Amino acid sequence: MERKLRTIVCGSTFGQFYLEALKLQENEFEVVGLLAKGSERSKKCASNYNVKLYSEVDELPDDIDLACVVLRSSVLGGCGTDLTIKLMERGIHVIQEHPLHPKDLEKCYRLAKKNNVFFQTGNLYANLPEVKKFIECAKAVNQIQKPAYINAAFAAQVSYPAVEILMYAMPSIRDWEVHCVNKDSGPFHILTGLLGSTPVTLEIHNEVYPKDPDNHMYLLHNIVIVYECGRLTLEDTFGPTLWNPRLHVSVDMYERGQLHGEFPDYMLENTSEILGDYVHLSFKDTLTKLWPKAILEDLMSIRECICKGKSSAKKAQQEILCAKQWSEITKSLGYADIISNCVHNSVPSEMFKELVSKYGG
């Protein structure tokens, strides 16, 4: 019989998004605690969500079902992976935020099996509506044509989900082969190579501000898959998803000596299409509504495993392969360049329109 899963959240920074996600399904999850270091932020977070604050694993009660480990993993210099291991050794199911080093990921899955618990990683980006739309559209086009070329631009901080998006969008899961790395192109490092047999160019913003490492990115994700018949584009992590048919001007059109006359059906198509229903969202709505819903999909996935004993072997294989691919790319990319004295400069849309109107010609 299914029941509420007694759940704790570990980490009070990005962990707040998990707390919001868990609130969306209070019939499925019961948040019984926040595990953190006891900072003022953690105390405020525990108070705001009306949960008990714990500072050590040993303080946790024995009836915890699920732990959401929302802390940096060992590959990023954090304690998240060590905490995951301690929790699973206590018989607690764990969902841990990406990324993990592939060796750590394999270790966690082995340990989960040994302790008869479920483990998986969380990656909200793959669950965002426009990302899912892009992946589904790519799968559809892949049925009739093979991708001819891929160009992807993203920030190093979100490189793991970028690899996962490409892995899901390609016709089959293939190995990466990096041929050339250009680190002399300003804030972006350029990697070229192959994904399977498909040529790929990756433009990666590889800079970090140590005092605020999760900000000051030029972009999250922009991905273009080129086919013989056109281009499929994820313009941004939040959309839209675009289709641009390939231009082809028939020689027959010139032979008639004038531009007017009959045109083939393909020439009547729009030069670009926004695919599906695209909704503009503010950053506020994105953070407070879209992200928690995306996180909830992963939470419901591991809940189904826990309550129904559903095998997670396929997902484990995909995650391990994704981690290996990500590790190869980051190894080729090298360490991020350190930047300093960063200040967020916002140009509101209305101000941008005024600038264009004044200086745009």
Identify whether residues 36 and 156 lie together within a single domain. Answer: no
What φ, ψ does residue 358 adopt, rounded to 5°? -80, -40
Confidence band, pLDDT 50/70/90 cuts, at residue 1: very low
CA–CA separation, 326 vs 59, rounded Å? 35
Say whether both 155 and 252 belong to one domain. Answer: yes
Shared domain check, 194 and 59: no
Q: Which tokens belong to 129?
A: 């509506």
Token pair 């350029």 in the structure block, residue: 190
Q: What is the mean pLDDT of the chain?
A: 92
Residue 337 lies in a domain: no
Range from 89-93, 131-135, 177-181 carrying the lowest mean pLDDT: 177-181
221 in any annotated domain: yes
Is residue 181 one of the residues assigned to a domain? yes
Domain that holds residue 234: 126-281
Res 126: pLDDT: 94
Question: Residue 264: which CATH number?
Answer: 3.30.360.10
Same structural domain, 11 and 118? yes
In this structure, the answer to whether residues 80 and 152 fall within a common structural domain is no
**Domain end: 281, 299, 318, which one?**
281
Final residue of a structural domain among 232, 250, 281: 281
Cα R_g (the chain), whole angstroms: 23
Residue 352 has pLDDT above 90, yes or no: no
Both 116 and 135 in one domain: the answer is: no
Which has the higher per-residue pLDDT, 199 or 38?
A: 199
Same domain, 170 and 272: yes
In a domain, 89, yes or no: yes
User: 176 pLDDT band (50/70/90 cuts)?
Assistant: confident
Using the CB atoms, write b or e for 326-340: b if 16+ within 10 Å. bbbbbebbeebeeee
Domain boundary pick from 122, 142, 173: 122
**What CATH number is attached to the domain comprising 74?**
3.40.50.720
Residue 21 and residue 303 in contact, taking contact as beta carbons nearer than 8 Å? no
pTM of the model: 0.93
- At residue 341, the pLDDT reads 83
Inform me whether the pLDDT recorded for 20 exceeds 90.
yes
Mean pLDDT, residues 220-239: 97
Q: Is residue 343 part of a domain?
A: no
Specify the number of domains making up the chain: 2
**CA pair distance 324, 104, nearest whole angstrom:** 11
Q: Judge whether 341 lies within some domain.
A: no
Backbone angles phi, psi at 92, to 5 degrees: -105, 130
- Tell me, letter by letter, the H, E, C secondary structure of the chain: CCCCEEEEEECCCCHHHHHHHHHCCCCCEEEEEEECCCCHHHHHHHHHCCCCEECCHHHCCCCCCEEEECCCCHHHCCCHHHHHHHHHHCCCEEEEECCCCHHHHHHHHHHHHHCCCCEEEECHHHHCHHHHHHHHHHHHHHCCCCCCEEEEEEEHHHHHHHHHHHHHHCCCCCCEEEEEEECCCCCEEEEEEEECCEEEEEEEECEECCCCCCCCCCCCEEEEEEECCEEEEECCCCCCEEEEECCCCCHHHHHCCCCCCCCCHHHHCCCCEECCCCCCCCHHHHHHHHHHHHHHHHHHHHHHHHHHCCCCHHHHHHHHHHHHHHHHHHHHHCCCEECCCCCCCCCCHHHHHHHHHHHCC
User: 307 or 172: whose pLDDT is higher?
Assistant: 307
Hey, which residues does 122 pair with through a beta bridge? Answer: 97
The pLDDT tens digits of the residues spanning 53-107 come to 999 999 999 999 999 999 999 888 889 999 999 999 999 999 999 999 999 999 9
Residue with tokens 């140009």: 347
- Shared domain for 9 and 55, answered yes or no, is yes
Please check whether residues 147 and 167 belong to one and the same domain. yes
For range 333-360, the mean pLDDT: 87
166 lies in the same domain as 273? yes
Q: What is the pLDDT of residues 235-281, one digit of tens each?
A: 999 999 999 999 988 887 777 777 787 888 888 888 999 999 999 99
The answer to whether residue 50 is domain-embedded is: yes
Same domain, 165 and 136: yes
pLDDT band at 203 (very low <50, low <70, confident <90, very high): very high
Do 151 and 264 belong together in one domain?
yes
User: Each residue of 268-320: pLDDT tens digit?
Assistant: 888 999 999 999 999 999 999 999 999 999 999 999 999 998 887 888 998 99
Phi, psi at residue 129, to the nearest 5°?
-55, -45
Does residue 92 form part of some domain? yes
